[in-house]
Structure 1
Amino acid sequence: MRGINRNIWKQSLRIVLSASVILSAGSLFGACQAEEDGYRTGAKVSDAYVNPDAAGEIAKEDLKAVGYQYDYDNLSYDLVWSDEFDYEGLPESTKWDYDTGGSGWGNNELQYYTSDQNAYVTEGNLVIEARKEEYEGKGYTSARLVTRGKGDWQYGKIEVRAKLPAGCGTWPAIWMLPTDWEYGAWPSSGEIDIMEHVGYNQNNIHASIHTQSYYHKINTQKTSTKVVDGASEDFHIYSIEWLPDKILAYIDGEQYFSFEPSKLKKSPTYKEWPFDKRMHLLLNIAVGGDWGGAKGIDDAVFPVQMLVDYVRVYQSKEISALVK
C-alpha cells in the first residue's frame, strides 16, 4: 500500500469457491401493449461468448472473488477511451468489432446480426439500424457492436449519449459482458445492463446486473426502472459508475440503480460479485425475443435506428493503483 492514500482503502476480502453454470431460454408472444414487469433473459449462447469447457467445475485456484470497501469522496477520473463519431463511414475498426449471426442469442431473438451492413457513422452519430428484410433465414437484420479486445476495462465510468428507437418488438441495449469469463459461462461471470428498453413499454428505461446468485430464472435479478417521457424522441446520457464494491446507474446524471452486494450478504463471493474482472461494451438492437417480443412485433415501424452521439470511458487512478 506504499504511496497510496490509505483513506481510500478500508479492507479487502478474498474467498475461493467453485462455480456452477445456469443457462435459460424461452419465448412468449402476444398483443403489443405496455406492462410493468419484464426482464432480460440474457443467456448469450454464441461461439464468441460461451466456452463449453468453462461450464461446470473450475479449478479453485482460478476462482478468486475480491470485494473492496472504499472512501470515494476524493476519487478523480480521467478519460481513457472514447469514440465521438466525428467521422463518416464504418465504425472505427480499431475500437469496434461485430458479433454476427442469427442464433437467437439465447433469448429467441429474430434478427440476423450483420458485420457492416447495419451500422455506420454519419453526421456525428453512430447509427445502428434494424430492418425488416429476409437474410440468412431470418426475417430481420440488425447490428451488434462490441469493444471486446479493443476496449476492455476493470472499473470506471462508462457514459453513452444515445437516442433510442421506438416501436413494439424493438429491444435496444447498452451493456457489458466479461472479456475473459474467468468464473464460468453466463451468468456466473456477470453481465451489466447500462440501458435496456423494450418498445411496448415506450417510456421505461431499465438497468440491471446478472450474476450466479442474482438473475431472473431464480427470481433474484437486481433491476431498476425509470420512466423517461419521450425516451425515443431525444438523446439521453446513459451511464454507470462501476466501483470495486458497487455499481451505480444513471440517466442524465440522475442515479436510479444501485447494486452493492455487501448490503445483501455478509461475505459476498464471486457468485454475488463477479465484477472484479475485465469487461467490454456492447451496443445493439435486438428484434423480438423473450422480452423484446413478449407483446408482439409491429413490422410497420421498421426500419428503426439507435443513434449514438458518443461513448466515453473514464477510470480512477486511485482505484487502478489499488487493484493492480
Structure 2
Amino acid sequence: MQRVANSSFLLLFSLLFLFSHVSAQKSASDPVDEYELVWSDEFEYTGLPHSSKWTYDVGDGCPDICGWGNNELQFYTEDRLKNARVENGNLIIEAHKEAYEDRDYTSARLLTRNRDAWKYGRFEIRAKLPSGKGTWPAIWLLPEEWEYGGWPESGEIDLMEHVGHEPNRVYATVHTQAFNHVNGTQDTDTLRVPDAEENFHVYVLEWTPEQISWSVDGQQYSTFENRHATYKEWPFDQPFHLILNIAVGGNWGGAQGVDDSIWPQKMIIDYVRVYQN
C-alpha cells in the first residue's frame, strides 16, 4: 500500500509540474499577457452603437473627394439602424442596394475619432465578413491629428481589408508618403482565410515603436518594420483612431464589377478590444 501511495504521489507531482510548466509557457507566449485592456466594446446592448464610443462618417465624400477618394458607390448614413446596429451581442454593419441621397447603395462607417485614439497597442477584433462582388469591408486606422499633413503623409494602417471578388482572402497594408497605393509602393501582405465569410475569426494588429504586425487567429502573416528614417517611411508615432466600414464598389472593391443580386451584405463584429503595455 505504501508503494502504491508513493507511486500515486509521484504521478500527481509529475502531472502538477508538467501542467505548471505548460501553463507558464502558454502565458509567456500569449501576447495579451503583456498588455492591459484599455478600451473595448463587447456589444452587450441593443440598438444604435454607443455614441460614447463611436462616431460616423456621413455622406458620399462630396464635394471634397467624391466616392471617398476611391470612386466608392455608397452613401454612409448616421444613426440608422438599417445600416449599423447592435443586436444579439454583435455589431452589424449592413450595406443595402437602395436609392438614397443620389446614390444607389447605403452603408455605415463607424469611427472612434474624437472619442478615443491610441499611440501603439494591440487591436483585436473578432468578425465575420460579407461576401460577393462589390463588397469591400475594412477594419483600419487613421491619425487623429494628421501631424505630418494630409493623406498619405500622416499614414494609414489597414488592419484587415477584404474584397468580394477575392473570396476568403484578407490583406494587411500600410500607407505612408513613401509607401502608398497611388504610387504603387504600398507595403501589403495577404493571407487566405478559407471561411472568412462564413465564420468568425480574430483579426489582430500589434503596433509598437519598432514594428507593426498582423495576425489572424494567432497566425502572424505580415510585419512592417520601423526603418528609423523619416516620417515619410514611419509616421506611426502619433495617436490613431479605429474605423469599421463596408464600402461598395470603388477602384478595388469594384474592380470586377458589383453583383446587384447579393444585397444586403453584413460585417458582423463580436467585439473590439484595445490593449496597451
State the TM-score, normalized to the length of structure 1. 0.73
Q: Show the counterpart of 2:54.
A: 96
1:135 aligns with 2:100: yes
Shift of 1:231: 1.3
Shift of 1:116: 1.9
Q: Show the counterpart of 2:77.
A: 114
Q: Show the counterpart of 2:68.
A: 105
**Local SS of the residue matching 1:217:** coil
Aligned-partner Cα distance in 1 for 2:254–2:50: 31
Q: Show the counterpart of 1:173.
A: 138
Q: Show the counterpart of 2:12.
A: none
1:195 aligns with 2:153: no
Q: Show the counterpart of 2:257.
A: 296
Q: Show the counterpart of 1:315.
A: 276
Q: Could you tell me which amino acid in structure 2 is paired with residue 130 of structure 1? A: A
More helix by share: 2
1:235 aligns with 2:200: yes
Compute the RMSD of aligned alpha carbons. 1.3
Q: Which runs of 4+ in 1 moved over 4 A?
A: none
Q: Show the counterpart of 1:283.
A: 244
**Local SS of the residue matching 1:192:** strand
Higher alpha-carbon Rg: 2
Shift of 1:88: 0.5
Aligned-partner Cα distance in 1 for 2:72–2:188: 21
Shift of 1:253: 1.1
1:82 aligns with 2:40: yes
Aligned-partner Cα distance in 1 for 2:182–2:146: 20
- Equivalent residue pairs, number: 240
Aligned-partner Cα distance in 2 for 1:84–1:220: 36
Q: Could you tell me which amino acid in structure 1 is paired with residue 51 of structure 2? A: S
Shift of 1:220: 1.5
Gaps of 5+ in 2: 1-30, 62-66
Gaps of 5+ in 1: 1-72, 317-324
Q: Could you tell me which amino acid in structure 2 is paired with residue 295 of structure 1? A: Q
Q: Show the counterpart of 1:67.
A: none
Shift of 1:268: 1.1
Q: Is the 8 A contact 2:213 2:222 kept in 1?
A: yes
Q: Show the counterpart of 1:222.
A: 187
Aligned-partner Cα distance in 1 for 2:196–2:175: 24
Q: Could you tell me which amino acid in structure 1 is paired with residue 73 of structure 2? A: L
Shift of 1:245: 1.5
Superposition map of 1:34-113 within 5 A: 76-103=34-61, 104-113=67-76
Aligned-partner Cα distance in 1 for 2:108–2:184: 30
Of 67, 90, 106, which residue of structure 2 is paired with 1:125? 90
Aligned-partner Cα distance in 2 for 1:203–1:315: 30
Q: Show the counterpart of 1:255.
A: 220
Aligned-partner Cα distance in 2 for 1:217–1:305: 29
Q: Show the counterpart of 1:148.
A: 113
